[in-house]
């Protein structure tokens, strides 16, 4: 696998947390950062997919009218 170095300025407290996690897990800092980025990218891709699915549902008319929701909420009281 080819790699590329990416540089980012992060708050000192966050850098210290990365250092602590690396020490605790006996892993390099780069491994910790890579894991964090992979997890964030996966989460962000899922959020994006869910947004697209929601917009598609709206385009297909799969919506509930506001008045229906309000009436349902009122029925719970």
pLDDT of residue 23 exceeding 90, the answer is: yes
Tokens encoding 33: 């950062």
Predicted pLDDT of residue 63: 95
pLDDT of residue 77 exceeding 90, the answer is: no
Asked if the structure places residue 3 within a domain, the reply is: no
Asked if the structure places residue 21 within a domain, the reply is: yes
| Mean pLDDT taken over the chain | 97
Q: How many domains does the chain have?
A: 1
Share of the chain above pLDDT 90, in %: 97
Asked if the structure places residue 4 within a domain, the reply is: no
CB 39 within 8 A of CB 46: no
Asked if the structure places residue 5 within a domain, the reply is: no
Tell me the residue range of the domain where 17 lies: 12-75
Helix 12-25 and helix 29-59: axis angle, to 10°?
Answer: 110
For 24-48, what is each residue's pLDDT tens digit?
Answer: 999 999 999 999 999 999 999 999 9
Rg (the chain; Cα; Å): 22
């Amino acid at each position: 696998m080819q790699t590329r170095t990416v540089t980012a300025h992060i708050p000192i407290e966050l850098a210290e947390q990365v250092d602590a996690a690396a020490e605790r897990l006996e892993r390099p800092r780069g491994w910790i950062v890579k894991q964090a980025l992979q997890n964030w990218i996966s989460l962000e891709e899922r959020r994006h997919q869910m947004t697209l699915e929601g917009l598609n549902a709206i385009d297909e008319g799969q919506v509930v009218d506001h008045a229906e929701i309000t009436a349902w909420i009122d029925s719970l009281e």
